[in-house]
Amino acid sequence: MICTYCNQYFPTINSLTTHLGANNACREFFSKEINDAPFSLAEDPINHPVHYTNAQASCPKCKAAVECIDVTRHLNFNLGNAIKYIWRCDSKGNPEKDLQKAIWYLQDEIKRRGHKEVAS
């Protein structure tokens, strides 16, 4: 995302929001643009779903919020999915189901690595 006033790049909507909160000129310019936008930047269900961006973790250097994808993109499929389901388990309405899915992916990863299956 780019602040259209100062042309500075921000990797997440949270980092852009932090920037706008700290910079009055950018915020005023951006708020004029956003009033005409056909969507809300507060919720971006495609690029930044709330259930993956609601963590309280943040980067110690720039204070940008850490999104699930920031962690899972560095893992293999099974481990990434396990983290994804754990990350969002309290945000989607059925925590037990998400935790069971996380366990399934962890068990599949253990099988993939050639170890004995974890007892269910």
pLDDT tens for residues 55-68? 667 777 777 777 78
**In the prediction, which pLDDT does 88 show?**
86
The string of DSSP codes covering 10-52 is -SSHHHHHHHHHH-HHHHHHHHHHHTT-SS-TT-BTTTB-HHH
pLDDT tens for residues 74-115? 999 999 999 999 988 888 888 999 999 999 999 999 999 996
Which pTM was predicted?
Answer: 0.54
- Say which DSSP state 117 is in: P
Query: What are the residues whose beta carbons fall under 8 Å from the beta carbon of 7, sequence distance 6 or more?
Result: none
Average confidence score pLDDT of the chain = 76
What would the two tokens of residue 112 be?
A: 């993939």
Rounded Cα distance between 78 and 44, Å, is 25
pLDDT over 60 at 120, yes or no: no
